Amino acid sequence: MRVSFSYVFQQNSDGSYTPRKGVQIGGITMGPGVSFGTGVNFGGFDVAKSVGKDLEIDEQPGLIIIKGVYN
């Protein structure tokens, strides 16, 4: 399913990002309470470089699995 970046992540007032639900990226799972800044890379996925792009995901109850990024 194709969704916007903001469907999966919210930007915090300090510029960091937090997943809206549990997120799995390249086999790494993080909960919605985790926040991270620019330059953080999870399994080849750079969150900051994906801002404003669409993401390809699979969604399960309480978990979003990121499969790719549309350029």
| pLDDT for res 6 | 96
Domain that holds residue 55: 2-69
Q: 11-50, pLDDT tens digit by residue? A: 999 989 999 999 999 888 988 888 888 777 877 788 888 9
**Six-digit token string for 51:** 């801002």
Angle 7-51-53 (CA atoms, 0-180°, nearest 5)? 75
For residues 12 and 2, give the distance between their C-alpha atoms in angstroms, rounded to a whole number.
23
Tell me how many domains the chain contains: 1
Q: Is the pLDDT of residue 60 over 90?
A: yes
pTM of the full structure = 0.88
- Could you tell me the sign of the dihedral formed by the alpha carbons of 26, 32, 36, 37, in that order? positive
DSSP track, 6-57: HHHEEE-TTS-EEESSEEEETTEEE-TT--B-TT-EETTEETGGGTTSEEEE
Q: What percent of the chain has pLDDT over 90?
A: 61
| pLDDT for res 22 | 95
